[in-house]
Structure 1
């Protein structure tokens, strides 16, 4: 799909979403709910008091859970919410809150006129996509040679032109790989989360952002589709199955009534599991880029990924690698550069993520899927899920940036595993293991970014890049 990103009027989208949420709550419909109190005791207690800079593949793991149901968001009932916190929430408008993220308030004409009344989640999805009705998958993909790249429990990823399209069925009765399909409400909330992270990008909105980074995959657009699975996608699916073996159900079983959401994403490259590092510099750059991105999103919107396994980190090498290349980010108003050594990192898949938009907290109640925490003992990924459970004490709506830290510890383990093939030597191995040990003492990715491990990888705005010290 050869296209630039589409500007979405996020404040207006969120305002419609909020009105619809309140209307559904008043009518007592048993739908997927979101906690609408932006300030929580857990948030307040975990906030840093320091004024310093640092202290102020496309496969998802659900495939191996076999739980039969997927996690849902939960709402804190009003009677359990402190009155002072409720007043704070009521006095903070959603548009004002998002103004802190410098969201571009550009009026976009929608295909469905809006009178200010509550809309269904499906209608809101159509409005986000500027559609008056669903289109077919053929209309989206017919102009492209499609190749399947990977799969997760709830969808498939295909390359179409220079973009990657994640196709996720929703609102249907057919089980997908043994799981209940996502509902419109859940899909809409993932769209909102993706748009929020999009607005952290340095090329969106005001250049003087308090927080910005390009480390999260760019979501270029969305499409709502309906109908049977397109023959070109089926062919690509079967080619993938023949070469690599698919664990997913064959998509030919979807009916003509089936709905899909298509996330049109930038092509971020190869996932960490399949990526081959050339040297240790590339591996260290991976660590600093991921840490910086998490630190920015933590500070901007209390973001926690909560599922940052090596299939959810993509790497792309520049065509002409240069050891002096760097990527920029802004944290608490301070512009910084991180060395890339010609490798650009993108974080993907926010299905399990938690984020505070300023007026609502989007999250998944992972306690609804106990199988997630029952992985093999000693497995690094499984142990990380269990560590998250200990940190949050299963209060999944709360702000616990330490969950980002445990995924960074996991990531160091994956780097150590991949470095074995490079014969990096005992000095580098000790450096990584020492870094991993220090990570355990930090409470957030922002804290981690101040670690001495990154001292030669980070530069202030205007500083000159100097050669890396010898290993």
Structure 2
């Protein structure tokens, strides 16, 4: 059934675009199905795939500031002792004969001579950065249903809460979405995945302790959620996903210039617009801990005597969107593909929580599914799972790109609130973007028309002259000039001795990412 109480589209067009860049008029509500020809959207988003800030893509070495993810949801019935939990020997893909996951040890993942640093706790996973002579990778370690040591008396006295282990089915969706997004600039590069089994290493234990000491200083009331590696047994198992290095989390990044605000916001909007078109993607959890920033080139100097041709591309920054645990998407190029989506109705405490600013966005998303407009309901209203909305019981399988608009509004507010540069520049930025914010703001009066997708936001930015057609289309020679760097940076760095071979040798992941594919 078509929506009748819609998020209304925004109004004026400030300038006309060339024919090949014109987008169709934004839908009257976030669509659940294709609503007509997509040629012009596809034309633009194909060009978005090659957007870059600079022809050079070399990382500027910098000291990493560890980021801290929101705390995992707590469950009163969490079982801290899982000695009798079933072991996961193979993945679903293995059972289907599609692939075979290599079983490694923690010593294989981070051998002597490598560096490992715990940098975050994400949905389901602990996040580490590994460096060795072959490069840098991020790994996400998700504990599978397998035994660990029970808590010590000291840990029990501290009232530590263990993150529950996960079954394979909980993880399939995020892994699929990661692979679908891997060739879209702005999303994390998927390299490889492994089963890691066994006890910890000294380096892993030390970085775990360092991370939690630092987190405790930031938040004295914080309790540990992920079990200490000292509790791992010979049969403790993890699914480890190797990803490309993304930089540092936005929450740990110092915002000191307006050029940074422009580039971070527009790069995120471009990435989301591209993903909307290719896989009908919604992130649904895009807070400051799930967005990373890298300095890939030297910032450009604006010439005061010249009017800039755009506001985009001066900071030398690039962005990476992380963590698709709550996301939604569909396989590309499959007309009636079954959507992959995390069922947020399984635990409504997410919508009643008030522990962090982003909790308001979770409620805004669910309120939209219930009411079909921007009026968001208070925490106490989210207590009945699968309530009836305007289209029947809530289903997170549906496609509602307005959720991306809500997270872009959150990002805009975060950027302007946490800006530490000259106040005069921030005031000018707010003035220039006041109409953008009016159409983003979830608390705007109902007479103000709304964006319905990230594609709408990019349309507006192009019409406003903040980003040029040339920047959207990119330059093929510039993109080709970065392929070598991308190839090196995006290759797996995990190498282990294959003792099962007649002739021992080093194994390396053959997976590569190709820009603009």
What is the aligned counterpart of 1:221 among 192, 195, 215?
192
Q: 1:98-128, CA deviations, whole angstroms, 9 ceiling, x for partnerless residues?
A: xxxxxxxxxxxxxxxxxxxxx8527359964
Once residues 122 and 365 of structure 2 are traced to their aligned partners in structure 1, the CA distance between those partners, rounded to angstroms, is: 21
1:232 and 2:199 correspond: no
Structure 1 residue 46, shift from structure 2 partner: 7.0
Map Cα deviations across residues 174-214 of structure 1 (whole Å, 9 max, x no partner).
6994443221122233222111111xx2xxxxxxxxxxx31
Please, which moves more after superposition, 48-57 or 280-289?
48-57
| Cα distance between partner residues in 2 of 1:157 and 1:50 | 38
* Residues 118, 129 of structure 2: 8 Å contact kept: yes
CA drift of 1:418 comes to 1.4
The aligned runs of 1:291-310 (5 Å cut-off) are 291-310=269-288
Alignment of 1:28-43 (within 5 A): none
The alpha-carbon distance between structure 1 residues 52 and 135, as it changes in their structure 2 partners (threshold 3 A), is closer
Q: Distance in 1 between matches of 2:473 and 2:191?
A: 33
Q: What is the CA-CA distance between 1:52 and the residue it aligns to?
A: 4.9
Which residue of 387, 391, 394 maps to 2:368? 391
Asked if 1:147 corresponds to 2:148, the answer is no
Whether 1:274 aligns to 2:252 is yes
**Which residue of structure 2 aligns with residue 97 of structure 1?**
none
2:170 is aligned with 1:170:
no
Aligned partner of 1:187 in structure 2 is: 171
Secondary structure of the structure 1 residue equivalent to 2:289 = coil
Distance (Å, rounded) in 2 between the aligned partners of 1:191 and 1:458: 33
* Residues 220 and 406 (structure 1), Cα distance of their counterparts in 2 relative to 1, 3 Å cut: same
Contact 2:351 2:363 in 1 (8 A): yes
Question: What residue number does 2:104 align with?
Answer: 135
- Structure-2 separation of matches of 1:125 and 1:68: 36
In structure 2, what is the equivalent of residue 260 of structure 1?
238
Q: Which of residues 213, 223, 231 in structure 2 aligns to 1:242?
A: 213
TM-score (norm 2): 0.60
SS at match of 1:321: coil
Cα distance in 2, alignment partners of residues 120 and 362 from structure 1: 17
Q: Is the alpha carbon distance of 1:280 and 1:137 closer, same or farther for their aligned partners in structure 2, counting shifts above 3 Å? A: same
Q: Is 2:69–2:120's contact at 8 Å kept on the other side of the alignment?
A: no
- For 1:449, what is the secondary structure of its paired residue? helix
Structure 2 CA distance, aligned partners of 1:261 and 1:277?
35
Distance in 2, matches of 1:64 and 1:452, equals: 36
For 1:317, the equivalent position in structure 2 comes to 295
**What are the superposed Cα offsets for residues 33-72 of structure 1, whole Å, 9 maximum, x if unpaired?**
xxxxxxxxx95557467865499975443x25324589xx
| 1:224-277 Cα shifts (integer Å, max 9, x gaps) | 111123332111111222333373332322322121111211111111111012
Cα distance, 1:149 vs. partner? Answer: 1.3
User: Could you tell me how far apart the structure 1 residues matched to 2:472 and 2:69 are?
Assistant: 39
Instruction: List aligned pairs for 1:420-435, cutoff 5 A.
Output: 421-423=421-423, 424-435=425-436
8 Å contact kept, 2:117–2:129: yes
**CA distance in 2 between partners of 1:461 and 1:453 (Å):** 11
Report what 2:74 is aligned to. Answer: 66
Higher mean Cα deviation, 410-419 or 239-248? 239-248
Residues 179 and 462 from structure 1, CA distance in 2 versus in 1: closer, same or farther, beyond 3 angstroms?
Answer: closer
Equivalent residue for 2:467, pick from 438, 441, 458: 458
Pairwise CA RMSD: 3.4
Q: Aligned-pair distance for 1:447?
A: 0.8
C-alpha distance after superposition, 1:401-420 (max 9, x if no partner): 00000000011110111125
The equivalent of 1:351 in structure 2 is 325
Aligned-pair CA distance for 1:453? 7.5
**Cα–Cα, structure 1 residues 134 and 50, in superposed 2: closer, same or farther, change >3 Å?**
closer
Q: Is the 8 A contact 1:157 1:165 kept in 2?
A: yes
Distance of 1:369 and 1:275 partners within structure 2: 31
Q: Where does structure 1 lack aligned partners over 5 or more consecutive residues?
A: 1-41, 71-118, 202-212, 325-336, 466-471
Give TM-score, length-normalised by structure 1. Answer: 0.66
CA contact (8 A) 1:173 1:181 kept: no
What SS is found at the alignment partner of 1:172?
A: coil
The answer as to 2:456 corresponding to 1:447 is yes
Alpha carbons 1:288, 1:454 under 8 Å: kept = no
Unaligned runs of 5+ in 2: 1-29, 46-65, 79-89, 151-159, 217-222, 303-310, 371-393, 442-449, 475-517
Number of equivalences: 349
CA distance 1:159–1:293, change in 2 (3 Å):
same
As a proportion of its length, which structure holds more helix? 1
* CA pair 244-438 structure 1, distance change in 2 beyond 3 A: same
